[in-house]
């Protein structure tokens, strides 16, 4: 079974600084999809960014970018120019190429210090 | 973008009663919906996978007779917590991927906070 590990239960960053959240996963598959979700205090899950495993280029969405290392099975999220609104729980997720099953990490709670 | 609507947002019920939570895909057809349970400051725990027109698939340890799931149409799945007890108090979230697009993310409802007194 696929497992997703987020080794940082809590992280903090100074406003306007950069922070990186780590995520590793275990799989024997070669084709899959990876996602980062944000869950603010409202508890609404919001998609931050996604990455297809077959793409070598790292995905970017404005201030959010990933460092996808397929061989190392690592998928870290970098938040640049952190803003107060970035404070939330962040979940890394893995989706198989077949079927609809998603696997979530345990989450990282990000605090942004003004 | 794809929208999933979940209702109610919060509900308080007495022990022994049943509560129904609805999850609707508003602008896409969802052949599959997932139901998650989330405890405070914890990750999402998958309870069951709801498939339109067939029986739901429950995760190990989830009582199918207690958490009844119905997915009668391509846009609606319901979770009924039967004979609720205080330990069922939790945050329940539904989600759905856009059908048959394997790079589709999950689209989440805004969750239901259930409190059983």
Residues of A in contact with B49 (CB under 8 A): 100-101
The answer, for A42 touching chain B at a CB cutoff of 8 Å, is: yes
Chain B nearest C-alpha distance from A114 (Å): 22
Would the CB atoms of A47 and B97 count as touching at under 8 Å?
no
Mean pLDDT of chain A: 94
A66-74 long-range contacts (CB < 8 A, ≥24 apart) are A66/A34, A66/A36, A67/A20, A68/A34, A72/A24, A73/A24, A73/A25, A73/A26, A73/A27, A74/A22, A74/A23, A74/A24
**CA dihedral sign of residues A21, A24, A30, A36:** negative
At A26 the pLDDT is 94
The answer, for A30 touching chain B at a CB cutoff of 8 Å, is: no
Would the CB atoms of A89 and B41 count as touching at under 8 Å?
yes
With a cut of 70, say whether residue B102 has pLDDT above it.
Answer: no
Residue of B nearest to A52 (CA): B103
User: Which residue in A52, A97, A104 is closest to B44 by CB distance?
Assistant: A104
**CA dihedral sign of residues A104, A109, A112, B3:** positive
Would the CB atoms of B102 and A43 count as touching at under 8 Å?
no
* Segment-wise mean pLDDT, segments of 10 residues, chain A, 114 residues: 88 98 94 94 93 92 97 97 98 85 92 98
Candidates B105, B109, B113, B114, partner chain A, best to mutate (most A CBs within 10 A): B105
**CA dihedral sign of residues B57, B60, B65, B67:** negative
Cα–Cα dist B34/B57, whole Å = 10
At B40 the pLDDT is 84
User: pLDDT class for B69, splitting at 50, 70, 90?
Assistant: very high
Question: What is the average pLDDT across B29-47?
Answer: 90
Question: What is the average pLDDT across B50-70?
Answer: 92
At B105 the pLDDT is 83
Point out which residues pair with B19 in neighbouring strands: B81
Chain B nearest C-alpha distance from A77 (Å): 16
Residue of A nearest to B99 (CA): A100
Cα–Cα dist A44/A24, whole Å = 24
Rounded CA Rg of chain B: 13
At A20 the pLDDT is 98
Query: For A13-40, what is each residue's pLDDT tens digit?
Result: 999 999 999 999 999 988 899 999 999 9
At B106 the pLDDT is 87
With a cut of 70, say whether residue B101 has pLDDT above it.
Answer: no
Question: What is the average pLDDT across B49-72?
Answer: 92
Chain A nearest C-alpha distance from B38 (Å): 10
Chain B nearest C-alpha distance from A93 (Å): 9
Question: What is the average pLDDT across B22-45?
Answer: 91
Candidates B25, B31, B91, B103, partner chain A, best to mutate (most A CBs within 10 A): B103
């Amino acid at each position: 079974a696929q497992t997703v590990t987020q080794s940082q239960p809590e992280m903090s960053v100074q406003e306007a600084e950069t922070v990186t959240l780590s995520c590793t996963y275990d799989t024997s598959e070669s084709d899959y999809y990876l996602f980062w979700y944000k869950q603010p205090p409202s508890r609404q899950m919001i998609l931050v960014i996604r990455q297809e495993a077959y793409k070598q280029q790292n995905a970017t969405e404005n201030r959010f970018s990933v460092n996808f290392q397929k061989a190392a099975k690592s998928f870290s999220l970098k938040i640049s120019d952190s803003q107060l609104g970035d404070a939330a729980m962040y979940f890394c997720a893995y989706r198989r190429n077949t079927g609809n099953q998603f696997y979530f990490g345990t989450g990282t709670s990000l605090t942004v210090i003004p | 973008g794809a929208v999933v609507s979940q209702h109610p947002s919060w509900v308080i019920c007495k022990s022994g009663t049943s509560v129904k939570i609805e999850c609707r895909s508003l602008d896409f057809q969802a052949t599959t919906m997932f139901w998650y349970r989330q405890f405070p400051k914890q990750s999402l725990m998958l309870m069951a996978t709801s498939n339109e027109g067939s029986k739901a698939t429950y995760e190990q340890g989830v009582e199918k007779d207690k958490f009844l799931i119905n997915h009668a149409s391509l846009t609606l799945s319901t979770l009924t917590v039967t004979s609720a007890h205080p330990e069922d108090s939790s945050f329940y979230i539904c989600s759905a991927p856009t059908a048959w697009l394997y790079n589709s993310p999950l689209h989440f409802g805004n969750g239901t906070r259930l409190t059983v007194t």
